[in-house]
Amino acid sequence: MDHQSTLERVVRGVLIALVLLFFMFPIVWILMMSFQTNEQILRIPPSLAFEPTLENYQALITGRLETQAGTLDIRFMSNLWNSLVLSVCSVALALVLGVPAAYAFARFRFRLGEDIAFTLLSFRFAPPLLVLLPLTLYFQELGLADTYIGLIWVYQLICLPLILWIVRGYFEDVSPDIEHAYRTAGHGWLTTFRRISIPLTAPGIAAAGLLAFIFAWNNFIFALVLASADKQPVTVGALAFVTASGIQYGQIAAAIVLSITPTLALALYAQRYLVEGLSLGAVKG
C-alpha cells in the first residue's frame, strides 16, 4: 500500500476531508449552538464568533426554562433517565430472549422454524402507526399503557428481530463441531452454549446489542403514543422546547448533545471491543 503517487494521496486526503465535513458539520454546529443563546443563534448574518454560555445546560439540568413568556418547567433530565431505562432494559430483555432463539434457529431444523424466524423479521416491515392504534387500545385494557413494562415490551418489536437475525448469522458461522468437541469432553448442552458458543459469537452479540440500543434510543413514535409525560424518553421530550414564545434552539442543541452522549460513548467503547474480539477469535475452518 506504500506505492501510491503523491496525487493519489492528495486526492484521498481531500475526499476524506469532504466526507468528514459532510458528516461532522451538523454535530459541530449543534455543539456550538448549545453554547449560545437563542438571540445569538438567530442573528443575521450568522457568525462563528460568540461568547459561550452554559445557560442552556443549566436550564436543562435544573429543569427551569426562562422564556420571554415566563418560566417553564421542563423534565429533560427525567426524560433522559427514561430513555436510558427503556433502552437498556429493552436490549437486555431482547438479548436474553433473542440469543438462545438465534442459536436454536441456527442449529436446529424444526417444524415452522423458518416461518417463525421470518415472522419475527416481519415486525420490522410493518408501519409502526398501523400497529399502534390497536396496541394502544389493548394496552389501556391491560393496564400496560404508560408503564415501563409495557414500553419495554413494545420495544421488543424493534430490538428482538434485529438481535435474532444478526446473532443467528454469527452462530451459523461457528462450526458445530467446535461445540461437539466440547460436548464429547463431558460437558452438557447448557455449559457448551455458555462456555463455547456465546464467547465465540460475543463480538456479533455486542454488535447486535449496540445496534438494537441505538434503534431503541432513537425511537419516537411508540413512546409518543404509549407514554405520558413521566415515562417519555428524550426523543418525545424534545417537543417541549417548542414553546408558546418560540422554538428554544439553544436548549434543543444542548438536549441533543446530552442525549447523543450515552450512545456515542457506548459505540466508542463497543467498537474497541468489537475489533479486539474479531482479531482474537477469528473463527477459521
Partner 1 sequence: MSAAALVLDRIDKVYNPEGARPVHAVRAMSLELAPGEIGALLGSSGCGKTSTLRMIAGFEAVTGGAIALTGRAIHAEPPARRNVAMAFEGYSLYPPLSVRDNIAFALKSRRLDPAEAARRIAEIAELLEIDDLLGRRPSSLSGGQQQRAGLARALVRDADLYLLDEPMGQLEPRLRAVLRGRLKHYIKTRGLTVILVTHDQTEANALADRIAVMEDGALQQFASPATLRDRPANRFVGAFIGEPPMNLLPAEARADGAGIGFVLPGGARLAYGPGEMASQVREAALACGAVIVGVRPHAIRLSGTGLPARVAANQWIGDQSHVAVSFADRAVVVVEHERVTARSGDAVGLSIDAGDLHVFDAGNGAAVSHGEVLA
List residues binding partner 1 (CB under 8 A): 175-178, 180-189, 196, 199-200, 280-285
Q: Report the residue number, 75 or 183, with the smaller CB distance to partner 1.
A: 183
**C-beta of 172: minimal distance to partner 1 in Å?**
15
Q: How far is the CB of 183 from partner 1 (least distance, A)?
A: 4
Residue type, 229: A
Q: Give the nearer residue to partner 1 in terms of CB position, either 75 or 107.
A: 107
Helix axes 198-217, 249-281, angle to 10 degrees: 170
CB of 167 to partner 1, least distance (A): 17
Closest approach, Cβ 191 to partner 1, in A, equals 9
Grid cell, residue 130, equals 398501523
CB of residue 201 to partner 1, shortest distance in Å? 11
Rounded to a whole number of angstroms, the minimum distance from the CB of residue 208 to partner 1 is 20
Nearer of residues 26 and 188 to partner 1, judged by Cβ: 188
Q: Which is nearer to partner 1, 9 or 180 (CB)?
A: 180
The CA distance from 188 to 67, in Å, is: 65
Q: Output the smallest distance, CB 267 to partner 1, in A.
A: 24
**Minimum CB distance to partner 1 smaller for 30 or for 278:** 278
Pick the closer one to partner 1 by CB: 143 or 176: 176
Shortest Å distance, C-beta 100 to partner 1: 18
Q: What is the spatial distance between Cα 215 and Cα 159, in angstroms, rounded to a whole number?
A: 7
Number of other residues whose CB lies within 10 A of the CB of residue 17:
10
Q: Nearer Cβ to partner 1, position 41 or 178?
A: 178
Number of C-alpha atoms within 13 angstroms, CB side, residue 208? Answer: 27
Nearer to partner 1 by C-beta: 161 or 203?
203
